[in-house]
């Protein structure tokens, strides 16, 4: 099996999206994280508060929109906006169809304790199933409907309700290099096309499904026009641009203040009970990532811990990766039922999206692994 090159400090391999390495072997994500240590976060917080004064409006129905899944990042963002920034938000949730029972229970507690207005949207499930299959076939990622809907739908609400300010959670600079920590990047059409839609627009997807649905059915998965957003004077950004993002500390806060509860997720060590607890299909998503790239969620989590000086050493991190990554999730059975694929077909499709130099076929053709995966 191919031994992937990994960062000399964290555990990210060469197949990670956007990654590059210095001559010494330090990955670009760690280099970007190093820039955070030079940031004057007090100054950035002042910049944030000056920005917000332009949008705080007692005569308006709401000061801002908080896109909200109920996971750790959006929950902390909502908590911070209400208690620290003293804004009145409209909380907007795009339901991808796989919210876990614990997530829903958390959501109810958080919304009740914070006393906020809440808007939930769930798209056509018949369309979602077709989108999952098509995006998996074409991109090796069945979450196109989720990526696009979460990014675009709150902006449609902003346009329709004339709420120009949208505040998201962590910056993508925490885990990729699409933007660095000094970019103050926006959540806009640029980031939507660069990160969210996998290179497939809503119109593209309409044609890829060969007219089975109407064009208007794809609106929740498209980004509003720039003209419509400019008309309301929109500003859409991650809170992580302006405050130092520390996941573990923020999880402690929401657990203590909001009774937010963690959950066990397939393929994730139990000490990371706060990670990706929203989606019942997360184990399948991480399994596909392992087949395609040779790493999954535990690599991502241990790398963040190492960068944040959380006390985890690289040797222990590699042991966790070996123990938890690459195992067949039980939720795969339900996923195959949803999209109408056999497990053999699923594996062949996932293998077809391998990222060099990793070879998922080698991994899956190992006798012990193949027996486990196909339950022979």
Domain-wise residue ranges, the chain? 41-241, 263-361
Burial classification of residue 88, based on how many CB atoms lie within 10 Å of its CB (0-12 exposed, 13-18 middle, 19 or more buried): middle
Contacts with 202 (C-beta within 8 Å, 6 or more apart), sequence order: 148, 218, 219, 221, 222
Question: Is the CB of residue 89 less than 8 Å from the CB of residue 78?
Answer: yes
Class of the domain covering 41-241: alpha beta
HSE at residue 160, side-chain half, CA atoms within 13 A, is: 9
pTM of the model: 0.92
Successive 10-residue mean pLDDT values, the chain, 376 residues: 87 94 95 87 94 88 97 97 97 96 97 98 97 97 96 97 95 69 83 90 95 94 95 95 93 98 96 95 96 95 92 95 95 96 94 90 59 52
Report yes or no: 138 and 208 within 8 Å, Cβ to Cβ.
yes
* Residue 226, φ and ψ in degrees, nearest 5: -60, -35
pLDDT in the model for residue 364: 66
């Amino acid at each position: 099996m191919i031994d992937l090159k990994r960062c000399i400090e964290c555990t990210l391999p060469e197949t990670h999206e956007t990654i590059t390495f210095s001559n010494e072997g330090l990955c670009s994500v760690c280099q970007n994280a190093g820039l955070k240590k030079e940031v004057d976060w007090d100054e950035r917080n002042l910049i944030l508060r000056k920005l917000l004064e332009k949008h705080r409006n007692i005569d308006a129905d709401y000061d801002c929109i908080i896109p909200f899944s109920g996971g750790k990042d959006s929950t902390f963002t909502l908590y911070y906006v209400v208690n620290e920034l003293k804004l009145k938000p409209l909380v907007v949730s795009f339901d991808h169809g796989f919210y876990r029972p614990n997530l829903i229970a958390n959501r109810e507690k958080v919304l009740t304790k914070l006393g906020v207005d809440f808007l939930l949207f769930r798209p056509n499930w018949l369309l979602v199933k077709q989108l999952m299959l098509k995006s998996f076939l074409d991109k090796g990622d069945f979450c196109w409907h989720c990526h696009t809907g979460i990014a675009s739908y709150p902006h449609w609400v902003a346009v329709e309700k004339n709420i120009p300010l949208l505040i998201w959670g962590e910056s993508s600079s925490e885990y990729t290099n699409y933007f660095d920590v000094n970019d103050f990047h926006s959540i806009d059409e640029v980031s939507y096309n660069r990160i969210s839609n996998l290179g497939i627009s809503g119109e593209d997807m309409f044609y890829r499904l060969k007219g089975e649905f109407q064009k208007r059915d794809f609106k929740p998965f498209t980004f509003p026009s720039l003209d419509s957003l400019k008309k309301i004077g929109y500003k859409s950004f991650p809170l992580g641009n302006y405050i130092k993002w520390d996941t573990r500390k923020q999880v402690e806060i929401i657990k203590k203040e909001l009774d937010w509860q963690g959950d066990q997720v397939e393929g994730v060590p139990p000490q990371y009970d706060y990670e990706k607890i929203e989606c019942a299909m997360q184990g399948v998503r991480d399994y596909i990532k392992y087949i395609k790239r040779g790493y999954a969620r535990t690599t991502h989590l241990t790398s963040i811990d190492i960068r944040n000086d959380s006390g985890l050493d690289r040797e222990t991190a590699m042991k966790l990766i070996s123990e938890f990554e690459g195992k067949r999730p039980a939720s795969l059975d339900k996923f195959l039922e949803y999209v109408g694929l056999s497990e053999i077909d699923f594996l062949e499709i996932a293998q077809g999206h391998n990222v060099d130099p990793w070879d998922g076929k080698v991994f899956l053709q190992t006798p012990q692994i193949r027996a486990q995966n196909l339950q022979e």
